[in-house]
Structure 1
Amino acid sequence: MIELRGLTKHYGQTVAVQDLSFTVRPGVVTGFLGPNGAGKSTTMRMILGLDRPSAGTALIQGKRYAELESPLRKVGALLDARWVHPNRSARAHLQWMAASNGIEKSRVEEVLRLVGLSEVAGKSAGGFSLGMSQRLGLAGALLGDPEILLFDEPVNGLDPEGILWIRRFMQRLAAEGRTVLVSSHLLSEMAHTAEHLIVIGRGQLIADTTTKEFIDKSSETAVRVRSPQLDQLRSLLTSNGMTVREDGEGAGGPALLVANISSDEVGKLAGANDITLFELSPQRASLEEAFMRMTGGSVQYHGEGPDVPGAQSGPGSYTAMGGAL
């Protein structure tokens, strides 16, 4: 388990993290999200003892990282996939890590097999692609068979097959009872990977909730309805005080989106007025839409460009995908 209590980090007059408190529990993959400059990397570095907090504590199993004996056996981390001497082979790099923490050499071959690098284990890491470097970094994180795992952008550079593999791998690690914290800018991937989300903005906590609750609370619910009597249906819905807008993006032709209402209510109203329905389907917002609505006021850097659907205009808003994680 990872526990943060009042964690704060100042760089001169700049506040990177401010009074941040949350707990990462074992058994589920926890996604760590936030706009650029939100303080995610700084927070992870403080958890691992690479940066000293200005105030507050970051504890792993009740201890600061510096207090852990044989830390690789307790915590595995992948923060920078390129943090490898370029002239060392993948095997030599892992053997050096193992020796520094008293880990048996046989474990090196095990993790190389786990991440699919056995065939290139003797090659220099400097010639690895980014995806291969990510796999080597993951092998290093797993070397001590730790209970706690932190991954920063672990799918960066991986092909679709690799992304699916690492998603299932992280979920399997969590299912074994390990604590897994992963940051990623691929929100759609987090929607499939993480059961719980920690969302921060400008160094402060925005949300600490399940992925489903985050989407439900920060997005508009709607029902998509399609009918051969569309004009009659539109008039009926609006006359009953419902908010209706056109939706021509789905399959099957023109449709209506009815906001903040259940499909049961729309269906009952249509049935009572003898209106035939070809489609009546609840619409679930994506994690991207929910994230942009929730964090729009916490974006540090803004660009000019086309409006992003679901974002609010004006200061503190997403005006381009440059506001992504």
Structure 2
Amino acid sequence: MVETMIELNGLTKKFGQTAAVQDLSFTVRPGQVTGFLGPNGAGKSTTMRMILGLDRPTAGTATINGKPYGELDRPLTQVGALLDAKWVHPNRSARAHLRWLAASNDIPASRVDEVLRLVGLSEVAGKNAGGFSLGMSQRLGLAAALLGDPKVLLFDEPVNGLDPEGILWIRRFMQGLAAEGRTVLVSSHLLSEMAQTADHLVVIGQGKLMFDGSTKSFIDRASEQSVRVRSPQLETLRDLLTTNGMTVREDKTDGNPALIVAGQTSDAVGELAGKNSLTLYELAPQQASLEEAFMRMTGGAVQYHGANLGGDVSVQKPMGGAL
């Protein structure tokens, strides 16, 4: 039996002389949420479209359960996808839209009301989808993705248009799908949300693979190791640290004067303070946020940059609309 997963091998897509995706290889495995990240224009949407057979690769392969999407029997029962929440006839009701999709793949009509209930749209099932808000359209797109009860799911910006309650709901929803043993690939520009949702990250830049590993290892790899330390003898501690060649800066983020010691471990700082009989109120290793780690790793792979403002302020925008 083939394990339910997505596999890319040397996947390449060129538009004329421009390579949108270059020799991309990675595997999305079941039982975890895999976040798909990259700066704007990195090739994420193109990659997802090739996985789903909507774009033909210039070279390489993208397979689902060991086969290209086009060779899957009743594909909605094997793969569910949400790429464009507004891909729906505006004059069809939510229920009619799902019934049409169900009929195309021999899915029982009874499944339609099941998925509408699952995503919280039962009360508006008879209303035209063209009048839905973006958040409601996202829920309808999720219902369509789940219609055939597939083992493989792809979501592109699934929290767009959702309020905080809806974002929390979909986070738990995706994690629940993964916990059932499904393969879940999701792209999002909300990096703080991915930090709480994804177990695994695939990061690309300019169409090339930059990282493939756990969320924690991504942050650790891209982060500068540092230590936050507080002491009633702060100035004495500062002098001691700098005298021993350590780089120190002030930190008042929580209102309590402290020092950030760059490139050091808590053991090294604590041992030095102890040898000199200094009292410490806090000694804590610091970890960068996913946003900071992402910016540090992908800064050189940003396709579009903002202009300088006022000559000395540079605005860089590696993330936008669809990551």
Query: What pairs up with 1:34-53 in 2 under 5 angstroms?
Result: 34-53=38-57
Q: Counterpart of 2:183?
A: 179
Q: Residues 102-251 of structure 1 correspond to what in structure 2 (within 5 A)?
A: 102-248=106-252, 250-251=253-254
Distance 2:179 2:122 in 1: 25
Cα deviation digits, residues 184-223 of structure 1 (max 9, x gap): 0000000000010000011010001110000001110111
Report the Cα offset of residue 319 of structure 1.
Answer: 4.4
Deviation at 1:264, TM superposition (A): 2.4
Cα gap change, 1:305 to 1:193, in 2 (>3 Å): farther
Match of 1:309 in 2: none
- Of the three residues 279, 285, 300, the one matched with 1:276 is 279
**Paired position in structure 1 for 2:87:** 83
Quote the sequence identity (%): 77
Partner of 1:320: 315
Q: Say if 1:228 and 1:277, in contact at 8 Å, map to a contact too.
A: yes
Asked if the contact 1:112/1:121 (under 8 Å) is kept, the reply is: yes
Normalised TM-score (structure 2): 0.95
Letter in 1 for 2:230: R
Cα distance in 2 between the residues matched to 1:290 and 1:32:
15
Aligned residue identity for 1:134 = Q
Residue deviations 1:267-297 (CA, integer Å, cap 9, x gap): 2221221212222221110000000110011
* Aligned-pair CA distance for 1:321: 5.0
Contact kept in structure 2, 1:29 and 1:181, CA below 8 Å: yes
Please tell me whether residue 287 in structure 1 is matched to residue 290 in structure 2.
yes
Q: Residue deviations 1:132-175, cap 9 Å, x none?
A: 00000000000000000000000011000100110011011111
Instruction: Report if the CA contact (8 A) 1:303-1:323 is conserved.
Output: no
What TM-score comes out, normalization by structure 1 length? 0.94
State how far apart, in whole Å, the 1-side matches of 2:271 and 2:23 are.
49
Q: What do you get for the CA RMSD once the two structures are aligned?
A: 1.4
- Structure 1 residue runs of 4+, over 3 Å off? none
User: Which residues of structure 2 form unaligned runs of 5+?
Assistant: none
Amino acid corresponding to residue 256 of structure 2 in structure 1: G
Q: Are positions 1:20 and 2:15 aligned together?
A: no
Task: Give me the whole-angstrom Cα distance separating, in 2, the residues matched to 1:305 and 1:170.
Answer: 39
Aligned-partner Cα distance in 1 for 2:308–2:162: 28
Q: Structure 1 residue 322: deviation in Å? A: 2.0
Total equivalences in the alignment: 314
Contact kept in structure 2, 1:29 and 1:171, CA below 8 Å:
yes
Counterpart Cα distance in 2 of 1:272 and 1:57: 59
Q: Give 5+ residue unaligned stretches, structure 1.
A: 307-317
Secondary structure (helix, strand or coil) at the match of 1:84 reads coil
Look up the equivalent residue of 1:322 and give its one-letter code. Answer: K
Corresponding residue SS for 2:317: helix
